[in-house]
């Protein structure tokens, strides 16, 4: 991001290094796709020269009146080699297409894998998400980044092979001399003329693509505006038309926002009066036109040179077709090569984005111990002087928290919104590490356990849980080939059976509308599914963070007491800001402003009339008279 933000192109040296590192990354994630494309490109560039060469021989043979047997032999050879070349092309293309059909997918997969593997605080960091959004946006808008790197490398290899073949077939153009009978045309034999023509050709093929590459460099210079404009585009183009916006869109005519923002300097890059349109008319347009014009001059110059030499008698008609064929390919290949080199530099900041994202290091310590599998499920958790600040925040979300609890007990964590309850759980589950202090499981710092193994100890129904737009049973089972009996049992325990009976496809009912015409669940129903999912995992710890606003106090209390019945011998942790939901717990910890201010049983805590618990209880009492 840094480079793209500065809107300055990197040095050549830097650009080449970045391109190489990018290629290495591509090779390691989709090697066969990359190799098949490069091999195909090389073959496609080289194979036409066989035809050019053989055709020239054939024309010469006709022109010089060779015997029919030689002619037939040459004709058959030409046809056979064209046939063979096309056959190989077709096979290589098939290979390339098959390997590349999933390339987009593999690129996305590469980023997603990285997301999954990075430390949670990084995955949750807005700056990291922004980096990923930038990668996506530049990929969709203008194909910048890794995909262009592959296209460009392909172009470079193809141009290089084509250049090589072109030189091989046209080098004699400069060495064959016009005989004395050519009169004034013998002037073309003069080394000064030959060198001048070669220099002119090199000059043009060098400058023409540089002009178009300069024209294209506006994309890197405008990278920031491009990103903003693209974000706006995808926001108005897709996000805003999703279900959740549809109602307000109509009531408040929100589509008008789009027009307003399109005219904005920061976001309006693509509109008809935007900066891109302006430079397309001026600088960029002129550069592109000049580049194309120079290309035509090259072709004209070389044709004149070939024709004049042929006229002077330096070579016959067969060679004319060979030279014309070779030179037209040559000019294309030199400009291709130079422009792909220019593109290496223009694309470098975008590749760098991907490289930076992919090389975010894992900083959280991950130990190797496995959590002891105890039949008696006798685990003890201890928080020892734990303090925590979220990354980038100066405020303590938890301050010097110390507490102990053992498995089998029912722990409740209560406190007002923002008092640190969810943060406590996130630390317990090692989504974040404490800023100070330590958390111990059976006396051992949880950092010393193997990460995945430690994760397997917890089932959590997060406050902001999400279900997937797949089949209901798959959501609960967590995979496609789940244990149906166990899922049904978990759903029953979570209180979802009645609703399940109303669904004609049962466990195979799709959720939401992303893929199939599935069901939309109410907040409470979704909560039950999330609980069933937690039960299915059958981990020793089961944690229920307070349900979102979707549930009223009565429904919440019902879910909690049901949860209590079904959690069996597991350690259950209940979190709520509604005290009535959790009063059945053996132990209640009261959080206030990131600290544990009280701890005890419901009755004991209520007895302390001046305490935070009693204060909260009294202020909430009006809601619970029914229960
Ligand atoms: P509770 O669950 O008790 O409502 P939280 O644990 O969610 O409270 O939040 C505790 C404090 O940490 C709050 O001040 C909240 O604003 C802050 N906080 C929560 N999540 C983040 C985050 N991802 N980044 C920064 N601050 C956060
Ligand atoms: Mg919370």
**Three-state SS sequence of 173-237:** HHHCCCCHHHHHHHHHHCHHHHHHHHHHHHHHHHHHHHHHHHHHHHHHHCHHHHHHHHHHHHHHH
CA distance 446 to 454: 8
Instruction: Name the closest-CA residue to atom 12, ligand 1.
Output: 397
**Could you report the per-residue pLDDT of 311-320, keeping only the tens digit for each?**
999 998 899 9
Query: Which ligand is located closest to the Cα atom of residue 426?
Result: 1
pLDDT over 80 (residue 336) = yes
CA distance 213 to 207: 10
* Most confident region among 50-64, 80-94, 375-389, 401-415 by mean pLDDT: 80-94
Query: Which ligand is located closest to the Cα atom of residue 419?
Result: 1
Instruction: Name the closest-CA residue to atom 10, ligand 1.
Output: 420
Query: Which ligand is located closest to the Cα atom of residue 421?
Result: 1
Please tell me the predicted confidence (pLDDT) of residue 623.
63
pLDDT over 50 (residue 138) = yes
Mean pLDDT of the 202-220 span: 78
More confident residue, 108 or 104: 108
Please tell me the predicted confidence (pLDDT) of residue 624.
57
Query: Which ligand is located closest to the Cα atom of residue 591?
Result: 1
**In the numeric block, which tokens belong to residue 449?**
């356990």
pLDDT over 90 (residue 114) = yes
**Could you report the per-residue pLDDT of 433-458, keeping only the tens digit for each?**
999 999 999 899 999 999 989 988 89
Closest by CA to 517, choosing from 505, 529, 502, is 505
Please tell me the predicted confidence (pLDDT) of residue 242.
67
Residues within 5 A (CB) of ion ligand 2:
421-422, 463
Please tell me the predicted confidence (pLDDT) of residue 235.
76
Please tell me the predicted confidence (pLDDT) of residue 1.
40
Closest by CA to 433, choosing from 420, 416, 444, 445, is 445
pLDDT over 70 (residue 221) = yes
Pocket test of ligand 1: the residue of 420, 424, 431, 576 to mutate, having most ligand atoms within 8 Å of its CB, is 420
Query: Under DSSP, is residue 519 helix (H, G, I), strand (E, B) or coil?
Result: strand
Q: Which residues contact 136 (CB under 8 A, 6 or more apart)?
A: none
Query: Which ligand is located closest to the Cα atom of residue 120?
Result: 1
Mean pLDDT of the 500-517 span: 90
Mean pLDDT of the 12-31 span: 94
CA distance 331 to 341: 15
More confident residue, 40 or 330: 40
| Cβ pair 476, 532 in contact under 8 A | yes
Q: Which residues contact 155 (CB under 8 A, 6 or more apart)?
A: 41, 336, 339, 340, 343
**184 secondary structure, DSSP code:** G
Q: Any idea which of 76-90, 144-158, 246-260 has the lowest mean pLDDT?
A: 246-260
| Cβ pair 354, 409 in contact under 8 A | no
Query: Under DSSP, is residue 422 helix (H, G, I), strand (E, B) or coil?
Result: helix
Question: Quick one: pLDDT band at residue 5, thresholds 50, 70, 90?
Answer: very low
pLDDT over 70 (residue 6) = no
The closest-lying atom of ligand 1 relative to the alpha carbon of residue 419 is 3
| Cβ pair 268, 261 in contact under 8 A | yes
Instruction: Name the closest-CA residue to atom 14, ligand 1.
Output: 418
More confident residue, 119 or 553: 119
Instruction: Name the closest-CA residue to atom 7, ligand 1.
Output: 422
Mean pLDDT of the 282-296 span: 85
Distance 533 CA to ligand 1 centre (A): 25
Pocket test of ligand 1: the residue of 120, 415, 422 to mutate, having most ligand atoms within 8 Å of its CB, is 422
Closest by CA to 625, choosing from 546, 557, 559, 564, is 557
The closest-lying atom of ligand 1 relative to the alpha carbon of residue 124 is 23
| Cβ pair 410, 585 in contact under 8 A | yes
CA distance 81 to 572: 76
Query: Under DSSP, is residue 538 helix (H, G, I), strand (E, B) or coil?
Result: coil
Question: Quick one: pLDDT band at residue 266, thresholds 50, 70, 90?
Answer: low
Distance 464 CA to ligand 2 centre (A): 9
Enclosing H/E stretch for 418: none
Instruction: Name the closest-CA residue to atom 22, ligand 1.
Output: 390
CA distance 618 to 72: 106
State the average pLDDT for the chain.
Answer: 86
Compute how many other C-beta atoms are within 10 angstroms of the C-beta atom of residue 227: 20
**596 secondary structure, DSSP code:** E
The closest-lying atom of ligand 1 relative to the alpha carbon of residue 463 is 2
Question: Quick one: pLDDT band at residue 3, thresholds 50, 70, 90?
Answer: very low
pLDDT over 90 (residue 546) = no
* Most confident region among 39-48, 235-244, 405-414, 552-561 by mean pLDDT: 39-48
* 596 phi/psi in degrees, rounded to 5: -85, 115
Please tell me the predicted confidence (pLDDT) of residue 231.
75
Task: Tell me the whole-structure pTM to 2 decimals.
Answer: 0.75
Residue 453, Cβ density class (10 Å: 0-12 exposed, 13-18 middle, ≥19 buried): middle
pLDDT over 50 (residue 566) = yes
Please tell me the predicted confidence (pLDDT) of residue 377.
67
Distance 397 CA to ligand 1 centre (A): 6
Could you tell me which residues are beta bridge partners of residue 441?
Answer: 381, 444
Distance 545 CA to ligand 2 centre (A): 7
Pocket of ligand 1 (CB under 6 A): 390, 393, 397, 415, 417-423
Question: Quick one: pLDDT band at residue 482, thresholds 50, 70, 90?
Answer: very high
Percent of the chain with pLDDT over 90: 42
Buried b (16+ CB within 10 A) or exposed e, 469-487: ebbbbbbbbeeeebeeeeb
CA distance 55 to 322: 8
More confident residue, 269 or 372: 372
Question: Quick one: pLDDT band at residue 111, thresholds 50, 70, 90?
Answer: very high
Please tell me the predicted confidence (pLDDT) of residue 262.
67
**Could you report the per-residue pLDDT of 139-184, keeping only the tens digit for each?**
887 788 999 999 999 999 999 999 999 899 988 998 889 998 888 8
| Cβ pair 410, 564 in contact under 8 A | yes
**In the numeric block, which tokens belong to residue 194?**
């030959």
Please tell me the predicted confidence (pLDDT) of residue 548.
53
pLDDT over 90 (residue 608) = yes
Radius of gyration, CA atoms only, the chain: 36
Mean pLDDT of the 24-29 span: 93
Please tell me the predicted confidence (pLDDT) of residue 479.
87
Mean pLDDT of the 7-17 span: 85
In whole angstroms, how far apart are CA 356 and each of 135, 181, 264? 10, 67, 30
């Amino acid at each position: 991001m840094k480079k793209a933000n500065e809107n300055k192109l990197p040095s050549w040296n830097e650009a080449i290094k970045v391109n190489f590192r990018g290629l290495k990354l591509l090779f390691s994630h989709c090697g066969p796709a990359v190799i098949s494309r490069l091999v195909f490109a090389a073959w496609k560039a080289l194979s036409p020269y066989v035809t050019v060469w053989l055709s020239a021989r054939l024309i010469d043979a006709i022109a010089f009146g060779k015997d029919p047997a030689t002619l037939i032999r040459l004709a058959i050879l030409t046809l056979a080699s064209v046939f063979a070349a096309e056959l190989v092309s077709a096979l290589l293309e098939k290979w390339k297409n098959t390997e590349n059909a999933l390339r987009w997918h593999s690129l996305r997969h590469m980023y997603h894998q990285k997301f999954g593997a990075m430390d949670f605080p990084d995955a949750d960091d807005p700056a990291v998400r922004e980096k990923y959004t930038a990668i996506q946006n530049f990929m969709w808008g203008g194909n910048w980044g890794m995909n262009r790197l592959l296209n460009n490398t392909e172009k470079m290899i193809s141009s290089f092979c084509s250049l090589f073949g072109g030189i091989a077939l046209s080098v004699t153009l400069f060495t064959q001399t016009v005989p004395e009978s050519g009169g004034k045309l013998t002037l073309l034999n003069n080394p000064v003329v030959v060198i001048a023509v070669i220099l002119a050709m090199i000059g043009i093929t060098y400058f023409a693509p540089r002009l178009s590459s300069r024209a294209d460099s506006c994309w890197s210079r405008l990278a920031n505006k491009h990103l903003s404009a693209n974000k706006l585009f995808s926001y108005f183009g897709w996000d805003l038309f999703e279900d959740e916006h549809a109602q307000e869109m109509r009531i408040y005519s929100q589509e008008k926002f789009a027009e307003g923002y399109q005219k904005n300097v920061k976001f309006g890059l693509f509109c008809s009066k935007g900066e891109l349109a302006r430079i397309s008319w001026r600088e960029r347009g002129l550069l592109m036109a000049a580049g194309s014009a120079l290309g035509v001059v090259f072709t004209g110059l070389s044709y004149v040179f070939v024709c004049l030499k042929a006229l002077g008698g330096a070579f016959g008609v067969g060679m004319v077709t060979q030279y014309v064929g070779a030179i037209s390919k040559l000019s294309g290949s030199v400009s291709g090569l130079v422009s792909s080199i220019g593109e290496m530099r223009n694309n470098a900041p975008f590749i760098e984005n991907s490289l930076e994202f992919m090389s975010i290091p894992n900083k959280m310590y991950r130990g190797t111990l496995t959590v002891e599998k105890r039949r008696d499920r006798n685990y003890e958790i201890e928080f020892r002087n734990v303090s925590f600040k979220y990354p980038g925040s100066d405020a303590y979300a938890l301050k010097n928290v110390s507490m102990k609890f053992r498995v089998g007990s029912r722990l409740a964590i209560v406190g007002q919104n923002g008092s640190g309850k969810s943060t406590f759980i996130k630390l317990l589950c090692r989504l974040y590490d404490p800023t100070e202090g330590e958390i111990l499981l059976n006396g051992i710092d949880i950092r010393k356990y193997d990460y995945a193994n430690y994760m397997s100890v917890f089932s959590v129904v997060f406050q902001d849980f999400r279900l997937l737009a797949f089949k209901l049973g798959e959501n609960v089972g967590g995979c496609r080939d789940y244990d149906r009996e166990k899922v049904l049992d978990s759903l029953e325990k979570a209180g979802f059976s009645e609703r399940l009976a109303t669904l004609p496809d049962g466990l195979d009912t799709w959720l939401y509308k992303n893929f199939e015409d599935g069901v939309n669940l109410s907040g409470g129903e979704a909560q039950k599914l999330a609980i069933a999912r937690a039960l299915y995992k059958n981990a020793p710890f089961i944690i229920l963070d307070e349900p979102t606003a979707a549930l009223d106090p009565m429904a919440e209390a019902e879910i909690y007491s049901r949860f209590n019945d079904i959690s069996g011998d597991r350690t259950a942790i209940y979190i709520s800001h509604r005290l009535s939901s959790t009063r059945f717990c053996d132990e209640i910890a009261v959080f206030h402003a990131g600290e544990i201010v009280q701890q005890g049983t419901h009755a004991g805590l209520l007895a302390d009339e001046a305490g935070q618990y009693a204060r909260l209880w009294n202020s909430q009492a009006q809601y619970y008279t029914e229960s």
